[in-house]
Structure 1
Amino acid sequence: MSLRFPTTLLALALLAGCATTQPQHAVVAPAPQAAAAVVRVPANDNLNAVAWSQTAIEHDLIYLQTYRDAQSRLLAAMRDPHWDALGKADRVAPFKGLKPAVILDIDETALDNSPYQARVVKGGGEFNEADWAAWCKEAQARALPGAVEFTQFAAAHGIAVIYISNRAKDLDEATLANLRQAGFPVSGPQAFLGLGTVVEDCEQAGTEKGCRRQLVARHYRVLMQFGDQIGDFVDVNANTADGRRKAVADYLPWIGTRWFVLPNPTYGSWEPALFNNDWSAPLEQRRQQKIDALRYQ
C-alpha cells in the first residue's frame, strides 16, 4: 500500500532535511548585560551651555580679557579720589578717606562650578539646594581664568578683596577654604558676605545683594565690581526683561570701567525672567515660554 502525504507536510519534511545539511546563520540576540550597558542620557536644556563653559577656549579668553583689562585700569582708579563703583542706592556713606576695595561675586565669577552643572545634566535633573550645598562643601571648584591674578594684584597694592555671594552664610568655612585653595587672597571671615548676612538698618529683599553692598560702603571706597548677574551690581526691582534693562540703564558708561560683567549661560535670574519667575511651573511649560521669547527676525 502506498502512503500519500499532504503537500504541506511534504514541503516541511524537505525543509527539515535541508536544514541538517546547510550551514546555519542564526541571529544572536545581545547578551542582557551588553544591553544594560547602553545608557541613555536624558535630554537637558543646559547641555550646550555647560559644554561651552567647560570646553570652549572662547570661554577662558573672555575671562582672561576681562580680568587683564580690569587690572590695567585698577591703579589709575585707586589714584582718582572721586572714583567709586557703587550705585547710588548702595553708596550710603561718604567714601572720602575710606580704604579701597574691589567686590567680586564668587560663583561663575571667581570659582568655576561647571562640574556641579555637569552632574545635573548627566543625572537629567534640575538644581536643588541639597546637592548644591554638598558640592560647595567639597571645596574643589577651580579658579576661573585671570581671577586669581587680578585679586592677588589688588591685594598686593593694598586693595581689599570682598566676596559677596548668594551662597548661604553657613557655607562660609567651605567657601573660604575653596577660595584659599584656589589661590585667592582672603583677609578673613569678614571677606565673605553670604546670603543671610545681617546688615543693621537694612532689610534684604530676597536674594538681592544691596544690603551687603551698603555694608561694604560703610568701610570702603569700591573701585570695581565683578559678577555674572546684574544683581551682582545693582538690585533688580522687577525681574523681567524690561525691568532688568532699566536696572542698568543709568550705569552703561560704567561697563568695562567700574563694572565688569562675565558670561554665564548655565543659570541666572535672566532665565526665570522668561517664564514669569515661576519655578513651580512644569518643565515643559517653562521650556515653551523660553521658546516663545525667542526672536526670529
Structure 2
Amino acid sequence: MSLPLLRPSRHLSRSRQLAGLALTGLLLTGCASQSATPTSNPAYSQRDLNEQLVMATAWMQSAAEYRALSYQAFNVARDRLDAILDEDDGNRPLAVVVDCDETVIDNSAFEAYLVGRDAAYDSERWHRWMEDRQAKAMPGALDFLTYADEQGVDIYYITNRDADALEATRDNLEALGFPQADDDHLMLRTDTSDKQPRRDAVLADHRVALYMGDNLSDFESQFDSDDPAERRALATARQARFGRHFILLPNPAYGAWEGAIYGGDWGLSPAQKDKARKAALEPWQPTGTP
C-alpha cells in the first residue's frame, strides 16, 4: 500500500482512500507556500500525534465506566433478544450480526503499543497484531453470544478484517470461547469494506434481530460519510433504532468519526491531523475577562 496510515482498512473503501490521496496532494500544494504554518511543521511527528491516544486508551483499559458501558450494551441486547424471541413466528431463523474489533473483542493493547512510538496504524503492523491472536473479549460479549447460541440464534461475525486474517481471527475467537466462530459464520472483508453485501447475504434467509458494532456503518452503509454534520444528522434521524435494533459499543480511539474530521483524507501528515482534530473542537467562549 502506498499510504503509511491505513485506518480506512477497518472502516473505509479503497476508492475513498484513493480520493483521499488526491485531496492530500491538493492540500500539500496549498501548504507548500506556507512553510511556517503548523500543517507543514516537519518537527511534529507521528510520535507527537500518538500522545493524543493516551486518554482514550487509558479510559478503555482502566475505567470501570468503560466496562459498565460494555455490560450495559450486552444487557440491552439480551433484553431485546428475549423480546424478539417471545414474539417470533418461526418463519425464518433468527440471527444476530456483530462486528468484531471493539465490539466483541478488545484491541486496545494495539493502540497502547503506538503510544511513545513514531509509528502509525498500517496494514503490516495491524496484521502482525492479528496474527499474535492477543485480542481479549469485550466485557459481557461472551455471555451474551453464548446465550444467543443456546437459544438457537445464528451468530454472524461481519468484520472488515482482511480475508487473509481468517485463520488468526477464528483462532482468537475460539480461544476466547465465542460460539459459532467458524468459517460459515465469519464474514471478513474481501473486495469491499462496505458491509451491506454481507449483511444482505445474512438477510437472504434470516431475520436479523440485532446488529452490534462500534461504528455506525456496522449498521447501515448510509452512515459511511466523510461529513461529520451529515453523520450526526443521520444518527438523529435513526434515533428510534438505537438500543432496539442497533446496539452501539463505545470506541473513542479510532473509527469513521475520525476520518470524517479529515474529510476522508487519511493521508494527511501528523501535523495536519493535529490541526484538523483541534479545528473540530467547539471551545467555550467566556464572556468578559477570561
TM-score range, shorter chain: 0.7 to 0.9
Q: Deviations over 1:83-141 (max 9, x none)?
A: xxxxxxxxxxxxx8221010110000000101111111132321011010111111121
Partners of 2:68 and 2:118 lie apart in 1 by 29
Match of 2:274 among 274, 284, 287: 287
* Alignment counterpart, residue 52 of structure 1, candidates 48, 56, 59: 59
> Counterpart in 2 of 1:134?
128
> Taking structure 2 as the reference length, what is the TM-score of the superposition?
0.77
The answer as to whether partners of 1:176 and 1:186 remain within 8 angstroms in 2 is: no
3-state DSSP class of the match of 2:52?
coil
Give the structure 2 partner of residue 268 of structure 1.
255
Tell me which residue corresponds to 1:71. 78
Where in structure 1 are there 5+ consecutive unaligned residues? Answer: 1-40, 83-95, 198-203
Contact 1:140 1:178 (8 Å CA) reproduced: yes
Moved more, 105-114 or 41-50: 41-50
Mapped to 2, the partners of 1:268 and 1:133 lie a distance apart of: 18
Letter in 2 for 1:169: A
- Structure 2 residue 101 is matched with structure 1 residue 80: no
Structure 1 CA distance for aligned equivalents of residues 181 and 269 of structure 2: 44
Q: How far is the alpha carbon of 1:231 from its aligned partner?
A: 0.7
Conserved in 2, the CA contact under 8 Å of 1:101 and 1:224? yes
Report the equivalent of 2:160.
Answer: 166
Runs of 4+, deviation exceeding 3 Å: 246-250
Letter in 2 for 1:73: R
Higher relative helix content: 2
2:175 to 170, 181, 189: 181
Q: Does 1:214 align with 2:221?
A: no
Aligned counterpart, 2:18: none
Q: Is the counterpart of residue 228 in structure 1 residue 222 in structure 2?
A: no
Whether the 8 Å contact between 2:226 and 2:261 is mirrored in structure 1 is no
Question: Is residue 123 of structure 2 the alignment partner of residue 123 of structure 1?
Answer: no
Are 1:237 and 1:247, in contact at CA under 8 Å, matched by a contact in 2?
no
- Distance in 2 (CA, whole Å) between partners of 1:238 and 1:146 is 30
Which structure has more RCO (C-alpha within 8 Å, separation ≥ 6)? 2
**1:294 deviation in Å?**
0.5
Q: Could you tell me how far apart the structure 1 residues matched to 2:68 and 2:103 are? A: 14
The one-letter amino acid of 1:149's match is D
Which amino acid counterpart does residue 158 of structure 1 have in structure 2?
Answer: G
Report the alpha carbon displacement of residue 290 of structure 1 after superposing the two structures with TM: 1.2
Distance, in Å, in 1 between the alignment partners of 2:185 and 2:120 is: 30
Give 1:42 deviation, angstroms: 4.3
Fraction of identical pairs, as percent = 31
TM-score normalised by structure 1 residue count: 0.75
* Secondary structure of residue in 2 paired with 1:132: helix
Question: Secondary structure of 2:97's match?
Answer: strand
RMSD between superposed Cα atoms in Å: 1.8
1:21 match = none
Offset of residue 280 of structure 1? 1.6
Q: 1:241 aligns with which of 222, 228, 251?
A: 228
Aligned counterparts of 1:129 and 1:157: Cα–Cα separation in 2: 37
1:256 has 2:243 as partner: yes
Give the 3 Å change call, closer, same or farther, for CA 173–237 of structure 1 in structure 2. closer
- Cα distance, 1:172 vs. partner? 0.8
CA contact (8 A) 1:102 1:161 kept: yes
Go from structure 1 to structure 2 and tell me whether the alpha carbon gap of 1:120 and 1:237 turns closer, same or farther (over 3 Å shift). Answer: closer
CA distance in 1, matches of 2:113, 2:261: 24
**5+ long unaligned stretches in structure 2:** 1-45, 285-290
1: CA distance between counterparts of 2:229 and 2:91?
Answer: 38
Q: Is the 8 A contact 1:234 1:248 kept in 2?
A: no
- In structure 2, the CA distance between the partners of 1:97 and 1:242, relative to structure 1 (3 Å rule), is same
Equivalenced residues, count: 236
Q: Larger Rg: 1 or 2?
A: 1
